Each structure stands twice: as structure tokens, then as C-alpha cells.
């Protein structure tokens, strides 16, 4: 996952991606549940079920590129195969593609699982016989070999 994104956006861009993920996931969840309540058959509801699953993944920020691609495919399927206004599924498909391309941001499970890791090295002087002094002159003399 880290190879897909050079960074997981933090700060204002990360908050914007969080907002975009939450809005898209909530809209998918709402539209899918609303359709399934009125549907008489389960078979035509397959793209809505896929959309609900992708929306849930987007809400928590897990597997965001996969969820965005699934979302785009399901919403384009809905836009082409169902009668009615196609603009809401097209808008959700575009949001899914943009989330798949940009990534989840720092406020996601993806960032926690696959983000950059910080490696903490131990103190180099800990456990050594060289005393650590607080004065800068002594530290400089010790590191330069008394060449000052």
C-alpha cells in the first residue's frame, strides 16, 4: 500500500480527504440502503450491495484504492443499467476514482497499517565508557580529538 502513495496527507489536506471519504461513504450507504428497502428482488441489488461494502470500507479508510475502484465500477453499473437520474451514480463514481488515485490520507486505517514507520535508534553513548558532559567545549574536544 505504501508503494501506491508516497505520503499519507496530513494536516488540512488529510482532513479534506477524511471529509471526502466520510461524505462518499455515507452517501453510498444511504443510497444503497434506500434502494434495498424499496427493491422487490435481491438480484438487481447486487451493485448496491457492492456500493454499501465499498462505502463501509471508505468510512473507516481501509483498502481505500480497492474500495474506490469497486465503488466506481458499481456506480457506473448502476448509472448504465437503471432508469432514472444517472448523475448521482456518476458523481459517486468520480469520487471513488479520485479517492483511489489520491489515497486515504493520514486519518485512516490504511495509514496506520501501511504508512511510514519511524525507526528509533538507541542513544549511541548509552552504555559506553565515554562520559557525557553538558558543556559544548568538552563535547567538541572529545569528538575532534583535542585539535582545537
Establish if 143 belongs to a structural domain. no
What confidence tens digit (pLDDT) does each residue in 5-46 have? 556 777 888 888 888 888 988 888 888 888 878 766 555 678
Establish if 120 belongs to a structural domain. no
- Stronger pLDDT, 104 or 127, i.e. the higher one: 104
Establish if 72 belongs to a structural domain. yes
Establish if 140 belongs to a structural domain. no
Total-model pTM: 0.66
Q: How far apart are CA 37 and CA 39, in angstroms?
A: 6
What confidence tens digit (pLDDT) does each residue in 55-72 have? 889 888 888 889 999 999
Establish if 79 belongs to a structural domain. yes
Establish if 142 belongs to a structural domain. no
Whether the CB-CB separation of 93 and 79 falls below 8 Å is answered with yes
- Stronger pLDDT, 6 or 95, i.e. the higher one: 95
> Considering its fold, how many domains does the chain have in total?
1
Q: How confident is the model at residue 91 (pLDDT cuts 50, 70, 90)?
A: very high
Establish if 136 belongs to a structural domain. no
In terms of residue numbers, what domain contains 76? 11-114
Establish if 100 belongs to a structural domain. yes
Amino acid at each position: 500500500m505504501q508503494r501506491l502513495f508516497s505520503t499519507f496527507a496530513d494536516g488540512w489536506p488529510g482532513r479534506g480527504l477524511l471529509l471526502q471519504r466520510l461524505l462518499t461513504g455515507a452517501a453510498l450507504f444511504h443510497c444503497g440502503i434506500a434502494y434495498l428497502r424499496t427493491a422487490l428482488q435481491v438480484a438487481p441489488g447486487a451493485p448496491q450491495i457492492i456500493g454499501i461494502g465499498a462505502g463501509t470500507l471508505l468510512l473507516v479508510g481501509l483498502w481505500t484504492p480497492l474500495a474506490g475502484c469497486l465503488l466506481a465500477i458499481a456506480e457506473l453499473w448502476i448509472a448504465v443499467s437503471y432508469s432514472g437520474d444517472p448523475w448521482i451514480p456518476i458523481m459517486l463514481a468520480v469520487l471513488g476514482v479520485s479517492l483511489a488515485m489520491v489515497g486515504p490520507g493520514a486519518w485512516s486505517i490504511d495509514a496506520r497499517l501501511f504508512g511510514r514507520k519511524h525507526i528509533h535508534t538507541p542513544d549511541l553513548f548509552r552504555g559506553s565508557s565515554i562520559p557525557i558532559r553538558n558543556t559544548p567545549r568538552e563535547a567538541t574536544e572529545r569528538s575532534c580529538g583535542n585539535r582545537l
